[in-house]
Structure 1
């Protein structure tokens, strides 16, 4: 049984052939982190605006807007805002941790 490697093959012959795959058109259009964060903030803002609008409509006794729908919209806006605060706090903590690292 011969365990020698033939001299014609090198151990890393295929290493240089590995290349990064070309991005698909969907990947080139994908949003970055900043775009995703901006979209999330706009979503939270629109939920808060909608809840405020519904609250005014209930106060003006608009029969087309129910109190139940308004309370649900207010709770959704509040949960979205709290989630945004948690993300912001985590990002500030991560930034602080990175800045305190010794180089």
Structure 2
């Protein structure tokens, strides 16, 4: 049950980060960037870190189940595995969109 709660919390965090990113007005060229505001690179790095943590947690839970540790249920292992898979697929899609946007920009006539 706690795995479902963690997934919901992760989804809420991602949605709030999206809302924050969309709510910020683009600063004018003459205005400096807001102090303390996370950059896109920082936000992307945090997202990659969370995906990595999810995959490591899934791996640890799987290893614990394989070793026969008590208190580790197959349903928890499968849920953790699916969370890791979904988060990795989402990160892959974000990467694909970024690459496509970069390619579109590079193909623009000057």
Structure 2: which 5+ residue stretches go unaligned? 1-32
Q: How big is the alpha-carbon RMSD for the aligned residues of Structure 1 and Structure 2? A: 2.0
Secondary structure of 2:63 counterpart? helix
Report the alpha carbon displacement of residue 77 of structure 1 after superposing the two structures with TM. Answer: 0.5
Name the structure, 1 or 2, with higher relative contact order (CA <8 Å, separation 6+).
Answer: 2
Structure index of larger Rg: 1
Q: 1:34 aligns with which of 10, 19, 41?
A: 41
**Runs of 4+ with >4 A deviation:** none
TM-score, normalized by length of structure 1?
0.72
| In 2: Cα distance, 1:30 partner to 1:49 partner | 29
Match of 1:78 in 2: 85
What is the TM-score of this pair, normalised by structure 2? 0.68
Residue 65 (1) aligns with residue 72 (2): yes
Structure holding more helix per residue: 2
